[in-house]
Amino acid sequence: MTDCELCETELPTTPGAAGGRVRRDELPDDLLREATARLGVLAWVWAGLFGIGLVMNHVVAPLLDLPMRDLIPWGRAADVVAVLSIAGSIALARYTRRLTCNPRLALDLALGYEVLLAFGVGVVNQWEPERLLAGRLSWICVLVLLFPMLVPNTPRKTLIASLLAASMDPVGILVAHWRGVQVPGFTAVVWNYLPNYVCAVIAVVPSQIMTQLGRHVQRARELGSYRRVELIGRGGMGEVWRASHRMLARPAAIKLIKPELIGAPDRSAAAAIIQRFRREAEAASFLESPHTIRLYDFGETRAGTFYFAMELLDGLDLESLVRRHGALPSDRVVHILRQACHSLAEAHDRGLVHRDVKPANIYLCRLGREHDFVKVLDFGLVKYDRDHSVMDTIKTSTELTTGTPAYMAPEMAGGEAVDRRADLYALGCVAYWLLTAQLVFEADNPLRMLIQHIQAEPVPPGLRAGIVLPARLERLIMRCLVKDPAGRPSSADEILAELELVELDRPWDQSRARAWWETKGGRGVPVPVATEARTMAVRT
């Protein structure tokens, strides 16, 4: 994303991922982590090079019929330098792989590592200085130029480290002088190692470029009051980012919707799509149910990219829950469905139809002291039940369709008008999945699955899974799956009332939920819309 796409600000610093401050001459956190990973690779490379030096001088060189003047001198001191350099390189590489690795500290350590490597190279180079001054370019030049390209740091730090590294050849000559070896005069040293210092100055250029790019990335990630921190999902209509509020340090999830990715053929169509997104986001922002994901903010960048800022949650979606842990007991399913109905009922009362109710869009999380707290996602792409929606525009694309085939109501699959009862059909499919760990209809492609939703009669979930379910719960699910919308429950409130009457041996309560999360839940991934980004549209 370029500068023209920014919702720019002029603050001298921006908050870091954890709420701290990021200097303008430093890279964003994710780019720092990438640089740290490259540092680890570079450390292994240098360890390998010194290892090759040991093998070449102790194994290969004795086998070559070459006079000593054609060989690089390699004595015991070189062996010591090589062993110490290998050990230091391995230690640094291992540190960069630790979870506790601080990227900024690692990159500062890299500068010291560069100088130490240059010192080792300088000592080896100048062990017999008279034989190496005859027009050979020092390996330190390669080191000085390579480091800032692969492991960037601030220009000031880079210049200081590069000048120190460039001075290691003269330092090697000084060491040789202390050993009593005849060394060249001062003028010869300056003339032969002037390229080292030229390279040290040039090394600031890639560092400056990387810093400027980092600054551009930093500004490009500022959307209104939010700064993008880390990409957590990418789908057919855009991207989802972990973000933080610039003033409050509040974590959020940012969904970017790019018109060119959702079938807009020209600018006017893109503008119409963005306008509909804006209208529907305004409607969704008024949803107040605690079981609906909270929409913090929305807006549009200069390049026409629309974005939603939503809350981050700690937990996992129902699709992942069943895939990891299998079918759920009926008492827990009732507990989950009640909360989902609370969210859908409010949306339906406001004339909004979700149109993509599915396990991946229902998130089970820990919220404060609550466990198994349900949040319904993706209310940024709803439809007015008495009006056209942005999803109708999207359907003009040959590659995209609304909804998800496994949970799509027959009237939606047939291209007919839909209302709130399409969401209730999908909720019945979700309940079926939770109780059986199986889809209502199985098929080898989306088209055949849609045909089954239109024509085939579902097998009762208890019979399908070979389990005994509360009779009232099973009848309710089968009512939700009736082909004719008139035969289904008329509202989410009606489903909620029926769920209250389901006879359970032991209701699912907070003590049981807390026990489950402590034993099986572990730490969830606080990214409630990562899955959503992959399922905003399905290929047909």
Is residue 25 part of the annotated active site? The answer reads no
- Per-residue tokens: 209: 């470029």
The amino acid that residue 167 corresponds to is S
According to DSSP, residue 310 is labeled: E
* pLDDT value of position 17: 38
Mean pLDDT, residues 214-237: 64
* Cβ(114)–Cβ(163) below 8 Å: no
Poorest-pLDDT segment among 161-175, 177-191, 447-461? 177-191
* pLDDT value of position 383: 53
Q: Is 468 exposed, middle or buried (0-12, 13-18, 19+ CB in 10 A)?
A: exposed
Measure the CA–CA gap between 236 and 464, rounded to whole angstroms: 34
* pLDDT value of position 173: 76
pLDDT digits (tens, 9 = 90+) for 347-380: 999 888 888 899 998 999 998 889 999 999 876 4
* Ranges assigned E (strand) in 370-429: 370-376, 383-384
Of 538 and 187, more confident: 187
Calculate the dihedral angle through the C-alpha atoms of 401, 406, 411, 413, rounding to the nearest 10 degrees.
Answer: 40
Kindly give, in sequence order, each residue whose CB lies less than 8 Å from that of residue 195, ignoring residues fewer than 6 positions away.
Answer: 137, 138, 141
Angle at 129 between CA 124 and CA 131, to 5 degrees: 105
Q: Chain-wide mean pLDDT for the chain? A: 76
pTM: 0.57
pLDDT digits (tens, 9 = 90+) for 260-278: 655 556 667 667 767 767 7
Measure the CA–CA gap between 312 and 203, rounded to whole angstroms: 41
The amino acid that residue 88 corresponds to is G
Counting every residue, how long is the chain? Answer: 540
Strand order of the sheet with strand 370-376? 314-317, 362-367, 370-376
Chain position carrying tokens 């027009």: 135
Measure the CA–CA gap between 270 and 202, rounded to whole angstroms: 45
Measure the CA–CA gap between 381 and 417, rounded to whole angstroms: 17
* Cβ(262)–Cβ(381) below 8 Å: no
pLDDT digits (tens, 9 = 90+) for 466-487: 999 999 999 999 999 999 999 9
- Identify which of 43-52, 68-77, 214-223 has the greatest average pLDDT: 43-52
| pLDDT band with cut points at 50, 70 and 90 for residue 216 | low
* pLDDT value of position 488: 96
* pLDDT value of position 209: 76
Domain locations in the chain as residue ranges = 29-215, 221-534
| pLDDT band with cut points at 50, 70 and 90 for residue 342 | very high
Measure the CA–CA gap between 311 and 330, rounded to whole angstroms: 29
Measure the CA–CA gap between 252 and 284, rounded to whole angstroms: 17
Calculate the dihedral angle through the C-alpha atoms of 231, 234, 239, 243, rounding to the nearest 10 degrees.
Answer: -30
Evaluate if residue 325 carries a pLDDT over 50.
Answer: yes
Fold of 221-534: Transferase(Phosphotransferase); domain 1 (1.10.510)
Evaluate if residue 417 carries a pLDDT over 60.
Answer: yes
Q: Is 199 exposed, middle or buried (0-12, 13-18, 19+ CB in 10 A)?
A: buried
Mean pLDDT, residues 131-152: 71
Phi/psi at 365 (5° precision)? -145, 175
Evaluate if residue 255 carries a pLDDT over 90.
Answer: no
Residue 341 backbone zone (phi > 0: left; psi -120 to 50: alpha; other: beta)? alpha
Cα Rg for the chain, rounded, in angstroms?
32
β 14-15/251-257 pair status:
unpaired
- Segment holding 231, helix H or strand E: strand 226-235
**Catalytic member of 317, 356, 372, 423:** 356
